[in-house]
Structure 1
Amino acid sequence: MAHQAEKAFIPLDIAVLTVSDTRTSETDTSGDLLAARVQESGHRLADRALVADDVYRLRAQVSQWIADPEVQVIVLTGGTGFSHRDSTPEAIAPLLDKQVEGFGELFRQISWQEIGSSTIQSRALAGLANGTLIFCLPGSTGACRTGWDKVIAEQLDSRHRPCNFVDTLIRARDQRRALP
């Protein structure tokens, strides 16, 4: 039986967006953690921003990145709860061409081990928009650590088997670059 050669790691261009009415660039521990994880994983931090929890500001920033062929993945932190200002799912869901239903389900299943029934208050979601993969995580640093370390990192690693998102993202980027 022939052994398949191990696939090479392919770095992706990832943007990080913090959604918060109270955090600043100096107090954004969740965004800091995600930016560090992106780079420690061998990917490139394409951009980073912090916006207020406002549907239209969120959509404007995310839409800009979705249209940019150099951004392959967007990871958002914050705005996924149930307070009156939490609006990340409402802002992002209409932009998605396809939802990755399993992401929110898996994130909550893993979170159950860490925070018990409080996990039902997470509206974490993911999907594809114009070939850009988008993950929406809660705003806590612990939730970002869980989401990245236990789900996202593997799905953005071209060596992960039996499947990952990398080939899909590479094809989509190449198609967007070819557009006039």
Structure 2
Amino acid sequence: MSRIDESIAFVPVRIAVLTVSDTRTAGDDRSGDTLVERLTGAGHVLAERAIEKDDRAAIAAHLRRWCADPQVDVILTTGGTGLTGRDVTVEAHRDVYEKEIDAFATVFTIVSMQKIGTSAVQSRATGGVAQGTYLFALPGSPGACRDAWDEILKWQLDIRHRPCNFVEIMPRLEEHRRRK
């Protein structure tokens, strides 16, 4: 069972938020707003925020830029995880990943099933790691962003979470690049 070990000091991580949409603007980006509210409310730092069109190459380039930035520990994208022709966020993420976190999609589906039933099969939420940075592609609805944060990411991005979490292994994400 999950728990927070209060004897460990909280470590804020730097999180960038990318909304993927052909129609959203800074003024009506409710899903991006939801993520920013959740992550800052939890004590983390908003490293950067942007909106990118539904273009696979442009999304992947944006992700690579942020992965190369030492001021970004985690990237959350919202939008473009569905099944329509313009939904290319998952493919862009996979163009960037060094390793995919397969269980993220599974756990997100379980969480979604509890909220929206079998409609959860229409989401292709995904997670992975590249250049020592965590990346998570979330659906474009505020509800899905709340669910992903409240039920998964809030816990895994808290170093106090037991029995284990993403933050405690961050220093080891690039150990394969070190010369022996």
Query: How does the TM-score come out when normalised to structure 2?
Result: 0.92
Displacement after TM superposition at 1:94 (Å): 2.0
Displacement after TM superposition at 1:168 (Å): 2.1
Q: Across the two proteins, how many residue pairs are aligned to each other?
A: 174
**Identity percentage of aligned residues:** 50
Which residue matches 2:114?
A: 113
Task: State the one-letter code of the partner of 1:163.
Answer: C
Listed one character per residue, the Cα deviations across residues 125-153 of structure 1 (whole Å, up to 9, x for unaligned) are 00100110001100000000000000011
- Is contact 1:111-1:146 (8 Å) kept? yes
Distance 2:60 2:117 in 1: 31
Listed one character per residue, the Cα deviations across residues 31-84 of structure 1 (whole Å, up to 9, x for unaligned) are 001011111010000000001010011011111000011100000000000111
Task: State the one-letter code of the partner of 2:45.
Answer: R
Displacement after TM superposition at 1:6 (Å): 1.3
Distance 2:28 2:151 in 1: 24
Distance 2:36 2:70 in 1: 20
Which residue matches 1:86?
A: 87
Distance 1:156 1:103 in 2: 13
SS at match of 1:153: helix
Which residue matches 1:146?
A: 147
Which residue matches 1:157?
A: 158
- Structure 1 runs not aligned, ≥5 long: none
- Structure 2 runs not aligned, ≥5 long: none
Distance 2:170 2:99 in 1: 13
- Is contact 1:131-1:168 (8 Å) kept? no
- Is contact 1:30-1:139 (8 Å) kept? yes
Runs of 4 or more above 6 Å deviation: none
Q: Which moved more, 1:91-100 or 1:141-150?
A: 91-100
SS at match of 1:147: helix
Q: 1:22-33 counterparts in 2 under 5 A?
A: 22-33=23-34
Task: State the one-letter code of the partner of 1:34.
Answer: L
- Is contact 2:60-2:95 (8 Å) kept? no
SS at match of 2:161: coil
Distance 1:62 1:94 in 2: 10
Displacement after TM superposition at 1:171 (Å): 4.8
Which residue matches 2:76?
A: 75
Distance 2:32 2:6 in 1: 36
Let me know the Cα RMSD of the aligned residues.
2.0
SS at match of 1:47: strand
Q: 1:117-128 counterparts in 2 under 5 A?
A: 117-128=118-129
Query: How does the TM-score come out when normalised to structure 1?
Result: 0.92
Distance 2:7 2:107 in 1: 27
Which residue matches 1:10?
A: 11
Which residue matches 2:48?
A: 47
